[in-house]
Amino acid sequence: MKEQKEHILDPTPRKYWDSFPKLDLRQRSLFACDSATQRVINKITQDDYKVGFLLQVIYFTRKRQFFSASHFPLEHIRAARKALALPISESRLIYPADVASRHKRKILKVYDWHTFDGPFKQQLINVAQSLVDKRRRKSDIAYFLLDYCLDQHREVPSYAVIRDIIQAKYHEYESNIGKEIRKRLTDENNAALTQLVNNSEEFLLHRDVKRINQGVRRQDCIMNGDILNRFQKMYVEFYHVIDSMRLTQEATEDLAIWVKQATVPRVKKFRDVDRRNLHLLAYLQYQYFHRSDAAVDAFKKIITSLKNNASTYQNRKNERHEKEVLDAAAALTNVTRNSKEIVRKIIEIGNNPTKTDKSKIKEIISLAEAFMLSDFEDVDEKLQRVDDDVKKRRNKLDYYHYIFSQSKTIQGRVGPLLKHLAFDDGTDPHLAEALHSYQKGLSKVTELTSMEFLSTSEQALIFREDEFSSTEKFKILLFIKVFESLKDESLSLKYSYKYRPAESYFIPAEFWRKSKDQILTSTTLMAYRDPVTYLDSIGGAVTELLKEVNNRINENENPYVKFHKDGSWWIDTPATNFSTDQFVSKLLGEDASLSLYQMIHQINSFTNFTDQFEHSTKRFSSEEFKLPHAYAALMSLGTNIGHHQMAKACNGITLKQLRDIESNRFSVSNLKGVNEKIVKLIQSLTLPGIYSDEEGRLHTSSDGRKMVVAVDSLMANFSYKYYGKDKGISANSFIDEQQIFFNVNVLTSSEREAPYMLEGMVESKRTLYPESKFKNKSHLHSTDTHGYTEAIFSAMHFLGITFAPRIKSV
């Protein structure tokens, strides 16, 4: 039973949950009562009852909880007696339970709160039920239920109550799924899963299977394609079971991570067959969906490179023939000019009345022969050269020549991936038909082959006689069309987390109708239950804001908006009023310095952020976990030194230890928990406040930073402007005026930052100021034009955020 308790919270926060609040007894204002409390105390006749009531008020105002009088700390009792000017006594407090209960009801009434009763407990159970398949960590659900109690002005229950609710709902959820799996699995399915476990070392837990290869070379694509093919076959085999489970993405990843991080003996010794099968089926879906997404990422990366290289090839061809074409064009221009002069002379000769017809003909023939000998030398060749150049440029023949020349190479790379992807039919049935034909093994292209998805000129290129076969040209044009359709989202995958149809992200209509109020309650979105009214309020607010901006411009109150003569406007960015006196380094002095290791250790001594590094498969296990190892792994990854160099530089720390910590403990959710603890520490300090320029307002900022990636990554692209000859990504980070990094998005270098702006804004409200405490806060966000669009502006207004494009708000 003890192990189950520890699965919710670790010992430190669990102990804090049920412990008395820490009181600074040296503060005189600690026991100062408001008028309502003082009136109640004045009516109490017995001294111990007065002390008990006062302490209950103090405990409630700090933790929204009530505690047993038998456990009141003696120092708190003595301080309360002193504050009430009562005689000091060393005897225990005489405070009966019935009196304490009566006082509890009075306190709740005074502060307009409510007791934690049976109906609200059932409501809390319903909220937990709606969260068990959407939150990976049980501790997240515990804290959400705590916030829910505070938001509803309900007395906070004990940790044991919250623990039992969460554990019961998790057990009920997994039991129901286990029963459904047992009912739907056939004997053949059970045998297949058993064989998969027995041979887990060969495939299921193989190193190449656990981690997706990020390369796009031919051998990498073939290996990834083979693994994708095997998972596709297994997913199809168990689809009727997996589909009945109705797992959310969060639940799938939570269940699958156990298999991903498990060892072969651990998988084989799993006793509960139903739970084992649940984890295995979730792992099959997890791998198939993520590998499908990775296959599309690799496909897009390969085709992007092909198109860029084709454009470069075409430009070089144009540059190479530019002089010849210009010379030919100049010669043809000269011929045209001379031809006009010859025609004028012929007309003049023909109209001359003094000459006979015979002499006119002779003179005209002589003039024409001289013109042909001088200006028409090689004119046919020049005409052909100009004509060929016009045709090539109009039809991009050099561009397509390069594309077609790479057809076999590209097929060898993307073919193993594309053939095992399950595409949704999308909006173009002709493209879907062509894709199905290719996946079945298209060997020859004829006029009957479906190619209506191509333009007329592209169709003509397929049957144009050249050194490339029609089949090769058709396939490469099919790849490019698939790439473009995936990019504009007219084509999607059936089984994917990243490229599935937009409507698949929505809550199913039938489930929404049945559980609308429950969903809105559990997500604290009941205020938005009437969307029409709420959207009307947003529209009105945006309209009034735009009117205010325009009025300020018309009244010349905004000095930063300037107008061109043609009526267009621009922003005159003011000079930055900046002083280096606010640098922390100057405040600390020139000699103040700390090593990175010392800084990490000191931060951990205040925050205990290493408590967040829960083991991915065995939380709070007895497995050895040393702080120096965690610090070394953090420094290795954070400074980009790498585990190899860090292991060489550290005595007593091996490469395997660093890798194990990264794979087993440095999950995204764990690292977010670490960051949140550091955020809370910074917010508790006074020094970071020197950066705040206005009290009561939250000012955040975001910008992208280009970073070189030295290893294979599907997100890394070449960009000579930013990375030279290397590949890299863009890290779009968010920061507030207290220098708190509260969110980061890792993007490809070609992606625009604006679509990811909302994620950072939502994270700012969750991390910096919780929803319940944010209502009266003003939020200003600064970014550049790469992170801003009109749509984002409207959505940010929905979140209550003002936009400032790197200048003062207009």
Joined together, the tokens standing for residue 746 give 């890792």
Joined together, the tokens standing for residue 432 give 């879907």
pLDDT at 807: 37
* Helices and strands counted in the chain (H then E): 34, 8
Q: Are residues 140 and 99 in the same domain?
A: no
Cβ neighbours of residue 671 under 8 Å, at least 6 residues apart?
Answer: 612
Taking the CB of residue 165, how many other CB atoms lie within 10 A of it?
Answer: 21
Cα gap 727→725, rounded to integer Å: 7
Cα–chain center distance at 186: 38
- Where among 60, 77, 110 does a domain terminate? 110
Considering only CA atoms, give the Rg of the chain: 37
- Where among 110, 131, 158 does a domain terminate? 110
Cα gap 432→436, rounded to integer Å: 6
Look at the block and give the residue holding tokens 């405040």: 587
Cβ-contact 93, 51 below 8 angstroms: yes
Q: Are residues 189 and 228 in the same domain?
A: yes
Cα gap 771→761, rounded to integer Å: 12
Cβ neighbours of residue 361 under 8 Å, at least 6 residues apart?
Answer: none
> Could you report the per-residue pLDDT of 767-792, keeping only the tens digit for each?
666 544 545 567 778 887 766 665 45
Cα gap 595→571, rounded to integer Å: 43
Give, in order, the Cα–Cα distances in Å from 146 to each of 112, 139, 279, 337.
Answer: 18, 11, 29, 89
Q: Is 395 helix (H, G, I), strand (E, B) or coil?
A: helix
Look at the block and give the residue holding tokens 């019961």: 168
Q: Is 154 helix (H, G, I), strand (E, B) or coil?
A: strand
pLDDT at 806: 40
Q: pTM for this structure?
A: 0.74
The list of the chain residues with pLDDT below 70 reads: 1-7, 26-29, 135-136, 320-335, 337-338, 367, 369-395, 426-427, 522, 576-593, 617-624, 691-696, 765-777, 786-810
Q: Are residues 106 and 160 in the same domain?
A: no
The DSSP bridge partners found for residue 717 are: 728
Taking the CB of residue 762, how many other CB atoms lie within 10 A of it?
Answer: 12
Beta strands 561-563 and 727-736: pairing type? unpaired
Q: Are residues 747 and 659 in the same domain?
A: no
Give, in order, the Cα–Cα distances in Å from 609 to each of 57, 291, 614, 620, 631.
Answer: 32, 33, 11, 14, 11
Cα gap 260→209, rounded to integer Å: 9
Give, in order, the Cα–Cα distances in Å from 800 to each of 343, 542, 776.
Answer: 77, 11, 10
Please report which helix (H) or strand (E) contains residue 318, including its range.
helix 273-350
Joined together, the tokens standing for residue 454 give 């191509």
Give, in order, the Cα–Cα distances in Å from 124 to each of 13, 147, 158, 167, 707.
Answer: 20, 11, 13, 13, 45
Cα–chain center distance at 70: 50
Q: Give backbone dihedrals phi and psi of 74, rounded to 5 degrees, phi first.
A: -60, -40
Asked, for residue 40, whether it belongs to a domain, the answer is yes
Please report which helix (H) or strand (E) contains residue 253, including its range.
helix 249-261
**Three-class HEC string of 187-242:** HHHHHHHHHHHHCCCCCCCCHHHHCCCCCCCHHHHHHHHHHHHHHHHHHHHCHHHH
Nearest 5°: CA angle at 676, between 675 and 681? Answer: 95
Cα gap 563→521, rounded to integer Å: 49
Asked, for residue 514, whether it belongs to a domain, the answer is no
Q: Are residues 205 and 224 in the same domain?
A: yes
Cβ-contact 457, 468 below 8 angstroms: no
Look at the block and give the residue holding tokens 């990094």: 741
Q: Are residues 122 and 106 in the same domain?
A: no
Q: Is 718 helix (H, G, I), strand (E, B) or coil?
A: strand
Asked, for residue 410, whether it belongs to a domain, the answer is no
Residue type, 613: F
Domain count, the chain: 6
Asked, for residue 555, whether it belongs to a domain, the answer is no
Joined together, the tokens standing for residue 266 give 């651990």
Half-sphere exposure of 344 (CA within 13 A, CB side): 6
DSSP-derived letter for residue 689 is G
Joined together, the tokens standing for residue 756 give 């990811």
Asked, for residue 365, whether it belongs to a domain, the answer is yes
What's the residue count for the chain? 810
Q: What is the dihedral of CA 93, 99, 104, 109, to 10 degrees?
A: -130
Joined together, the tokens standing for residue 727 give 């590949």
Give the domain extent around 279: 184-286
Alpha helices in 118-212 (DSSP H): 118-131, 138-151, 159-184, 187-198, 207-210
pLDDT at 285: 95
Joined together, the tokens standing for residue 780 give 């200003």
Cα gap 92→74, rounded to integer Å: 8
Half-sphere exposure of 636 (CA within 13 A, CB side): 24
Asked, for residue 482, whether it belongs to a domain, the answer is no
Q: Are residues 104 and 129 in the same domain?
A: no
Cβ neighbours of residue 580 under 8 Å, at least 6 residues apart?
Answer: 586
Q: Are residues 90 and 166 in the same domain?
A: no
> Could you report the per-residue pLDDT of 239-261, keeping only the tens digit for each?
999 988 888 888 888 888 888 88
Joined together, the tokens standing for residue 287 give 């791998």
Could you tell me the CATH number of the domain that includes residue 727?
3.30.420
Cα–chain center distance at 139: 22
Q: Are residues 702 and 762 in the same domain?
A: yes
Cα gap 708→716, rounded to integer Å: 8
- Where among 266, 286, 306 does a domain terminate? 286
Q: Are residues 667 and 689 in the same domain?
A: no
Residue type, 441: G
Beta strands 697-709 and 778-782: pairing type? parallel
pLDDT at 771: 47
pLDDT at 457: 83
Asked, for residue 453, whether it belongs to a domain, the answer is no
Half-sphere exposure of 171 (CA within 13 A, CB side): 8
Cβ-contact 717, 304 below 8 angstroms: yes
Cα gap 480→484, rounded to integer Å: 6
**What single string gives the DSSP state of each residue in 451-500?**
-TTS-HHHHHHHTS-SSS-HHHHHHHHHHHHHHHHHHTTSS-BSS-SSSS
Cα–chain center distance at 86: 60
Cα gap 804→781, rounded to integer Å: 6
The DSSP bridge partners found for residue 705 are: 731
Cα gap 93→70, rounded to integer Å: 8
Q: Is 727 helix (H, G, I), strand (E, B) or coil?
A: strand
Half-sphere exposure of 411 (CA within 13 A, CB side): 19
Cα gap 477→492, rounded to integer Å: 18
Cα gap 663→659, rounded to integer Å: 6
| CB burial readout 169-197, b (16+ within 10 A) else e | bbeeebeebbebbeeebeeebeebbeebb
Taking the CB of residue 804, how many other CB atoms lie within 10 A of it?
Answer: 16
Q: Give backbone dihedrals phi and psi of 751, rounded to 5 degrees, phi first.
A: -80, 140
Q: Are residues 792 and 697 in the same domain?
A: yes
Q: Is 406 helix (H, G, I), strand (E, B) or coil?
A: coil
Cβ neighbours of residue 33 under 8 Å, at least 6 residues apart?
Answer: 41, 54, 57
Q: Are residues 172 and 188 in the same domain?
A: no
Asked, for residue 602, whether it belongs to a domain, the answer is yes
Burial of 555 (0-12, 13-18, 19+ CB in 10 A): exposed
